[in-house]
Amino acid sequence: MVADEERTTSCGTVCLKYLLFIFNLLFWLSGGAVIAVGLWTLVDKSEYISLLSSSTYSFAAYILIAAGAVVVLTGVLGCCAAIKESRALLIVFFVLLLLIFLLEITAGVLAYVYYQECFPFCYKLDEELRADLKETMVQKYQRPGHEHITRAVDKLQQDLKCCGSNSSADWLQGTWADELAYGRLVPDSCCKTPTDRCGVRDHPSNIYKVEGGCISKLEEFILQHLQILGAVGIGIACLQILGMIFTCCLHGRLREEPY
């Protein structure tokens, strides 16, 4: 009878141990995914970021990378705690999970409150930032020494299928129109099918004419990615609740079992 009871307890402990190990594997992968998103933002979208005078977006990417690294390290600690069946490591792991969870909840609540207070204006780019973006595009495009700006503007207009900061008419103002247009009304990257000097025609059949220009498209792009990040955050938070439950159960089993 005693042997049966010990075998049942041991079996329950093993099950919890492997459940916690699987959780930590998923948690570790989610941390890796967060790091990947941060790196992708910095590397693939770095040209977009270079057009913005504010460092907020690149700072947000660094925060993502740091948060992902913390999640990965916490996942590794959880795996070690499960394999070694160490009650001390399990307590540390539980505390770390709880802290990360509380930080996520606090950030989510603050973001929601801020969004409700400033809707529908909070999702719009700051007016100064919008003016800076327009100034950068029309004054520095194709200027010597600003090749990175030229690449960024071309990529922005082709990827987001837009033309000009507010509208295609923006390209009729500024340094580019006065000195570098050579008969073109818009840059060739505004064209639906870019070819040399295709920008001489600004008809909607030839170029992207979007209400609100590239700024509105950039706002949509940022909002979409924020929604994706919010969904990922909710998913990770649900995982953490499961992890805390498994940790508490395994810690309780280990305390009951004789060494």
Say how many C-beta atoms besides its own lie within 10 A of residue 182's C-beta. 8
- Give the residue with greater pLDDT, 193 vs 212: 193
- This prediction has a pTM of 0.64
Average pLDDT over residues 157-182: 89
CA–CA separation, 239 and 34 (whole Å): 14
| Residue 207 per-residue DSSP state | B
State the pLDDT at residue 231: 72
Average pLDDT over residues 224-253: 74
Nearest-CA neighbor of 247 among 11, 31, 73, 24?
Answer: 24
Residue-range domain boundaries for the chain: 1-256
Provide the percentage of residues in the chain whose pLDDT is more than 90. Answer: 14
